[in-house]
Copies of this chain bind each other. A is one copy, B any other.
Amino acid sequence: MPVAKGSTVDPARTRAAILGAATRVFYERGLDGVGVAELCGVIGVSKETLYRHFATKDALVDAVLELRSERVTRWLSDAAESAGPDPAARLAAVFDALRQWYSEPTFRGCALVNAAAQHHAPRVRAITSRHLDKHLALLTDIARRAACPAPVAVGRQLLMLLEGATIVADQHGADAVGDHARTAALALLTRS
């Protein structure tokens, strides 16, 4: 693995640290809820260092959101994959993973959807739209495996349920939301 040349620390490691801390802080406090100066204080990095790795705050936001989207997508598809070939089991596994997420104390809703609600900038909305596309692909695949007559429609319905459950869990508490969402998802998959 190529390592830093002629420098004290690995720049890639610094960049990863910035991304990780920014992901956490932006999620907890909102994209506009934390300034660059405070963010640098939390990360333990100077502004010059941050701006060496990211041209602008918006660029950092983009990178954070892209990373988040990849992680969440992988996490959900891993959950589906580990449930075996049965489509109902895959769907149940996805919503079980969601239920677990909802009950984490740091849960604050979907970072991508929240970001799109804050930054009306088209770049952010595009990232969020692609994020939903990935979820839709996963759910449509499950519907197709279940031999649904209209897998695309069912995938959309499951996507609505997923996003709605995330909203309701954030605003109304996670109590039974995960269970209800799971039940509804399986009903939508196996109906008709």
- Can you tell how many copies of this chain the complex includes? 2
Nearest CB on B from A125, distance (A): 7
Nearest CB on B from A33, distance (A): 6
Do A163 and B156 touch across chains, with their CB atoms under 8 A apart?
Answer: no
Q: For chain A, which range describes its interface: under 10, 10 to 19, 20 to 34, or 35 or more residues?
A: 35 or more
Closest B residue to A190 using CB positions: B191
Tell me whether A181 is interfacial, beta carbon within 8 Å.
Answer: yes
Do B128 and A171 touch across chains, with their CB atoms under 8 A apart?
Answer: yes
Tell me whether A5 is interfacial, beta carbon within 8 Å.
Answer: no
Closest B residue to A132 using CB positions: B171
Do A117 and B117 touch across chains, with their CB atoms under 8 A apart?
Answer: yes
Do A160 and B164 touch across chains, with their CB atoms under 8 A apart?
Answer: yes
A132-B191 contact, Cβ under 8 Å, with A30-B118, A160-B184: no
